Amino acid sequence: MALLGFIILVGLLVIVQGWVLGRPALARLDYRRHFSKYTCRAGEKIEMVETLSNRKWLPVPWVRLEAMLPSTLLFARSDDMNMSEGHIYQNHTSLFTLSPSTKLTRTHHILCQRRGIYPIDSVTMTGGDLFGLYTPSKKINLDTRLVIYPRLLGDGDLPISWKTWQGELAVRRWIVEDPFLITGVREYAGHDPMNRIHWKASARTGQLQVHKSGYSADPRVMVLLNVEDSETMWSVVTRTELIEQQLSLAATCVASLIGQGMSAGFAHNGDSQLEAAERIDMDYGPVHLNRMMEAMAAFELKSRLPFHQLLQHEEQREFREPIDYLLITSHRSEPLEQAIASLEKRGHRVGVTGFTVNGSDRSSSHSRFDRRSQQAEEAIQ
């Protein structure tokens, strides 16, 4: 009888602790998750911070948080985290124990391996008592996204044809600034006249800012990226590393042009995760650069239309004056040559750069710039 009574008593204690600790385990439990950056570049390290608050006077024996995260995020291993990795997604699990009226914060270090736009929609929270008698669960909506821009190439990785084209573009600009053409603001340089000070921007930043002048002859550049890795490619890219390298080249080109105060745009013949992101018209400034970088992050390795058709669409556009086109492509074809010739007949200047299948520089012999690029390559060789 004594043993039976003991068993009954233990059973009652298990049930009571389940009612006391298990059923209200998630009550007055707050969870927050944020990243140190929501936009970064491929290869950059960021932090994911989880904050869990227990606002009741009862402890929570255990809380498990589960979320599906993109596999491109490489987490530093820790004892309190479990990862189940797949090709596209990984199951991220964290386990917590909370005392009464406690706030717990954990920081995870992440390496962003590949560019893209990754939605982070929700996390599932499950709690329970000591014996798992009650395990309530709920879904917490996060509605955030992580945007990873393409990598930027170093000077040593850039094609000679791009460097030559960039040099000729810079030569065509006027050395003297045009005081009537305002493109933004910059910091006071000490020798700037007082009538150039932008007082509102100075008050907003706490430092003297002056109007930034443009150039009387300021080239406008459209960078066009070809997703086709060969002339015979049908729809889906097979040489993904090659096209990713081309995309990094495009990102480096537009970043350099915007950094020099020029007007730049970006377009491609691939698919996109975002609407109306296949073509970003020419504009100035860092905000516009971020728009182009986001369009590149959303770039998908599938052909939307042949590259020569993209050039034909550009030929039909009306501009007040001719612009510069920079084509980034890994191959040349007869339809592409004809499309380039048509653009040049409209007065536009066309340059071609990029990497070939074997990783060498793709230079063009179609224009004056490309002939000089070819000569430079031969001299180096």
Domain residues for 194?
181-214
Q: Provide the CB-side half-sphere exposure for 194 (13 A, CA).
A: 0
Is residue 12 included in any domain, yes or no?
Answer: no
Q: Are residues 81 and 93 in the same domain?
A: yes
- Judge contact between 301 and 243, C-beta under 8 A: yes
For residues 24-58, one letter each, b for 16 or more C-beta atoms within 10 angstroms of the residue's C-beta and e for the rest, the string is bbbeebebebebebebbbbeeebebebebebeeeb
Q: How far does Cα 51 stand from its chain's mean position?
A: 26
Q: Are residues 271 and 144 in the same domain?
A: no
pLDDT at residue 311, rounded to an integer: 96
The residue among 164, 198, 214 that closes a domain is: 214
Euclidean distance between the first and the last CA atom of the chain, given in angstroms as a whole number: 98
Choose among 84, 346, 64, 340: nearest CA to 226: 340
Q: Are residues 102 and 189 in the same domain?
A: no
Neighbouring residues of 195: CB distance < 8 A, sequence distance ≥ 6: none
Q: Are residues 33 and 143 in the same domain?
A: yes
The residue among 163, 197, 214 that closes a domain is: 214
Q: Are residues 222 and 168 in the same domain?
A: yes
The SS3 assignment for 240 reads helix
Q: Are residues 229 and 351 in the same domain?
A: yes
Is residue 8 included in any domain, yes or no?
Answer: no
Q: Are residues 40 and 138 in the same domain?
A: yes
For the stretch 354-367, pLDDT in tens is: 998 765 665 543 44
Helices 160-171 and 368-380, interaxial angle, to 10°? 130
Is residue 19 included in any domain, yes or no?
Answer: no
Residue 11, both tokens: 């059973």
Q: Are residues 301 and 187 in the same domain?
A: no
Choose among 216, 165, 159: nearest CA to 350: 165
- Judge contact between 92 and 118, C-beta under 8 A: no
Is residue 5 included in any domain, yes or no?
Answer: no
Q: How far does Cα 151 stand from its chain's mean position?
A: 9
CA dihedral angle for residue 312, residue 314, residue 319, residue 324, rounded to 10 degrees? -110
Residue 214, both tokens: 């443009």
Is residue 16 included in any domain, yes or no?
Answer: no
What does each of the 381 residues of the chain score in pLDDT, given as a tens digit?
A: 687 777 888 888 888 888 888 889 899 999 999 999 999 999 999 999 999 999 999 999 999 999 988 888 998 876 566 667 667 788 888 888 899 999 999 898 999 999 999 999 899 999 999 888 899 999 999 889 999 999 999 988 999 988 888 888 777 665 445 555 566 787 887 777 877 788 888 888 888 888 776 555 568 899 999 999 888 888 889 899 999 999 999 999 999 999 988 899 999 999 999 988 999 999 999 999 999 999 999 999 999 999 999 999 999 998 888 899 999 999 989 999 999 999 999 999 999 999 987 656 655 434 433 443 444 344 333
Is residue 250 included in any domain, yes or no?
Answer: yes
pLDDT at residue 258, rounded to an integer: 94
pLDDT at residue 378, rounded to an integer: 42
Q: Which parts of 16-86 are beta strand (E)?
A: 29-35, 39-41, 45-54, 60-70, 73-75, 81-85
Q: Are residues 91 and 190 in the same domain?
A: no
CATH of the domain at 313: 3.40.50
Q: Are residues 295 and 316 in the same domain?
A: yes
What gap in Å lies between CA 359 and CA 361, rounded to an integer? Answer: 7
pLDDT at residue 365, rounded to an integer: 37
Is residue 240 included in any domain, yes or no?
Answer: yes
CATH of the domain at 138: 2.60.40.1530
Q: Are residues 138 and 280 in the same domain?
A: no
Is residue 188 included in any domain, yes or no?
Answer: yes
What gap in Å lies between CA 241 and CA 244, rounded to an integer? Answer: 5
| Residue 27 per-residue DSSP state | T
Q: State the total domains in the chain.
A: 3
pLDDT at residue 14, rounded to an integer: 81
For the stretch 226-261, pLDDT in tens is: 999 888 888 889 899 999 999 999 999 999 999 988
Q: Are residues 348 and 227 in the same domain?
A: yes
